[in-house]
């Protein structure tokens, strides 16, 4: 058997031409010899019928002649003219043969016209000779006989394409895809259809087809043209924890989204980082736009975040007036972090974090504490107001004057106003807190340097002054509320 497309001899039982790749369709072969035999048989049958009919007509004719002549010549035997009989007979035979030939030809033509196998074979033969217009006609007739054969319909689509009938090609390929979702050559049909639109740069049509495609290989091959709905990392629903939502497109492009339930557009938020959802109700709508400018359908997810606020931190020191040093401690759940402020503002995760006990500041101070859990939800704020003050021989102001005098006398200051040698700025001093050791209370004073631009710098110098005797010490902080003291004269 030879390949109908290129003529290469095929090995026995081979259905695929190794030379051109043409897939051979096995159909019953239309036998021309059988056709001729059928035609000859019909002709013989019709001739026999005609001969019998002619003989009958001839006999009747002779009898009529004899009867007619006997009326006029009763005594003489009647013999019809032989030449006249031969002429009549010849005419009858010719007429019969013409009718037989016409009928035979009509029967054969009708057989061919209504034979799926004949029409299919003629289509393949025509295509093998690149006569695609004839191939199309034959295959259309074959499908008129049997329209359910999807392989033949797919072959017709190929013939349409080679014959330059692009519109018919596309329409037929779409019909095949819609006809049977289990068709084994479905991926080839998709490949051919999408290839046509790819050559035409019709990216919108490609994206539309891919939205309804269920063939993984095709989706992977043409993924760059697809504009599928964005994928949310979490499905909508009710959550009892803080969640973050990430959005992802199927290929290179941009995801646009809204949080207020409105339809997204290219003027909406561009997704770049995960979207943090705290307590509340959210409706996120998102769409994807690929690099060909094709927009996907909108994907919508609803979220309700129901969080339980953590307990507020417990503070050991109540608001009030204190006459001795006091450490402020905050107790909280291990899963939370405590933050605080001292300027009257509401604390948050950007405020100073509580890690160790805090020395109660000297004078009046205002603290605000909050506990924040891992989800970012904060507790109610706890506020405290403290007034730390003692009655001693030396007030804080007198104690600071003693310090400045000693620093000036030792050459660390140029004067009691705080000017510093070789610098344009001045040192300033303030009582931060109190320290008690061996029943003696000390003012703890921190030194700071203020430059000409007004910026304050910590000098890391700490001094302790006996509140009753004004004795001066250099102080070294061990931890909150604990210091080591060294007499100033020894420094």
pLDDT tens, residue by residue, 331-354: 999 999 999 999 999 999 999 999
- Alpha-carbon distance of 248 to 256, in angstroms, equals 10
Reported confidence tier of residue 30, pLDDT bands at 50, 70, 90: very low
User: What's the rounded mean pLDDT across residues 374-393?
Assistant: 92
Nearest C-alpha neighbor of 23 from the set 4, 46, 8, 37: 4
pLDDT tens digits along 396-412: 999 999 999 999 999 99
Kindly report the backbone phi and psi dihedral angles of residue 155, in degrees, each rounded to the nearest multiple of 5, phi listed first: -65, -40
pLDDT band at 19 (very low <50, low <70, confident <90, very high): low
pLDDT at 309: 86
* pLDDT at residue number 78: 42
CATH class of the structural domain 236-305: mainly beta
Mean pLDDT computed over 295-311: 92
Which residue has 């803080």 as its token pair?
242
More confident residue, 337 or 15: 337
Per-residue pLDDT, 50: 46
The per-residue pLDDT for range 174-189, each reduced to its tens digit, is 999 999 889 999 999 9
Identify which of 244, 265, 275, 270 has the alpha carbon closest to the alpha carbon of residue 255.
270
Q: Average model confidence (pLDDT) for the chain? A: 86
* DSSP calls for 369-387: EEEEETTS-B---EEEEEE
- The pLDDT assigned to 8 comes to 75
Whole-number percent of the chain with pLDDT over 70: 80
pLDDT digits (tens, 9 = 90+) for 40-83: 555 555 455 545 544 554 455 455 545 544 444 344 444 444 55
DSSP string, 121-183: HHHHHHHHTT-HHHHHHHHHHHHHH-TT-HHHHHHHHHHHHHTT-HHHHHHHHHHHHHH-TT-
Where exactly are the structural domains of the chain?
32-113, 236-305, 314-388, 396-490
What contacts 459, CB < 8 A, 6 or more positions away? 427, 447, 448, 449
Residue in this structure with the two tokens 């819609």, named with its chain if needed: 178
Judge whether 236-305 and 314-388 match in fold: yes
pLDDT at 462 over 70: yes
pLDDT at 237 over 50: yes
Of 85-99, 324-338, 448-462, least confident by mean pLDDT is 85-99
What is the distance between the alpha carbons of residues 371 and 354, in angstroms, rounded to a whole number? Answer: 10
Q: Of 430, 437, 401, give the one whose Cα is nearest residue 324.
A: 437
> Cβ–Cβ contacts within 10 Å for residue 170, how many?
19
Give the pLDDT band (50/70/90) at residue 86. low
Class of domain 314-388: mainly beta
Do 476 and 483 form a contact (C-beta atoms < 8 A)?
yes
CA 23, chain centre distance (Å)? 37
């Amino acid at each position: 058997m030879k390949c109908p497309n290129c003529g290469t001899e095929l090995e026995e039982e081979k259905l695929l031409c190794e030379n051109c790749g043409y897939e051979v369709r096995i159909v019953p072969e239309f036998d021309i010899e059988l056709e001729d035999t059928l035609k000859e048989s019909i002709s013989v049958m019709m001739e026999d019928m005609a001969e019998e009919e002619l003989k009958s007509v001839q006999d009747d004719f002779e009898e009529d002649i004899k009867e007619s002549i006997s009326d006029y010549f009763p005594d003489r035997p009647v013999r019809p003219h032989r030449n006249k009989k031969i002429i009549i007979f010849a005419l009858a035979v010719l007429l019969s043969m013409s009718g037989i030939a016409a009928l035979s030809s009509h029967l054969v033509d009708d057989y061919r016209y209504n034979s799926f196998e004949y029409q299919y074979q003629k289509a393949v033969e025509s295509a093998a000779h690149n006569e695609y217009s004839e191939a199309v006609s034959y295959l259309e007739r074959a499908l008129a006989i049997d329209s359910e054969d999807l392989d033949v319909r797919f072959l017709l689509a190929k013939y349409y394409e080679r014959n330059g009938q692009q519109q018919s090609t596309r329409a037929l390929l779409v019909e095949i895809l819609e006809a049977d979702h289990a068709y084994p050559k479905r991926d080839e049909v998709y490949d051919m259809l999408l290839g046509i639109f790819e050559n035409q740069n019709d990216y919108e049509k490609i994206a539309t087809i891919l939205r309804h495609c269920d063939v993984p290989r095709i989706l992977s091959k043409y993924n760059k043209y697809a504009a599928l709905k964005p994928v949310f990392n979490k499905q909508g629903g009710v959550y009892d924890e803080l969640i973050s939502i990430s959005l992802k497109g199927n290929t290179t492009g941009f995801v646009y989204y809204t949080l207020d339930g409105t339809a997204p557009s290219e003027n909406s938020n561009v997704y770049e980082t995960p979207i943090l959802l705290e307590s509340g109700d959210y409706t996120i709508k998102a769409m994807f736009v690929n690099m060909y400018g094709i927009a996907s359908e909108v994907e919508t997810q609803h979220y309700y975040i129901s969080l339980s606020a953590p307990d507020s931190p417990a503070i050991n020191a109540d608001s009030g007036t204190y006459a001795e040093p006091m450490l402020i401690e905050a107790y909280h759940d291990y899963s939370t972090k405590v933050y605080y402020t001292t300027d009257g503002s509401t604390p948050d995760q950007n405020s100073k974090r509580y890690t160790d006990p805090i020395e109660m500041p000297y004078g009046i101070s205002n603290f605000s504490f909050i506990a924040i859990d891992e989800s970012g939800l904060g507790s109610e704020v706890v506020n405290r107001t403290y007034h730390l003050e003692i009655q001693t021989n030396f007030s804080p102001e007198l104690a600071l004057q003693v310090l400045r005098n000693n620093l000036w006398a030792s050459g660390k200051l140029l004067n009691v106003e705080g000017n510093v040698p070789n610098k344009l700025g001045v040192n300033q001093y303030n009582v931060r807190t109190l320290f008690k050791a061996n029943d003696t209370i000390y003012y703890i004073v921190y030194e700071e340097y203020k430059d000409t631009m007004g910026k304050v710098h910590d000098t890391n110098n700490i001094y302790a002054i006996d509140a009753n005797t004004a004795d001066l010490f250099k102080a070294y902080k061990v931890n909150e509320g604990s210091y080591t003291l060294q007499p100033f004269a020894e420094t």
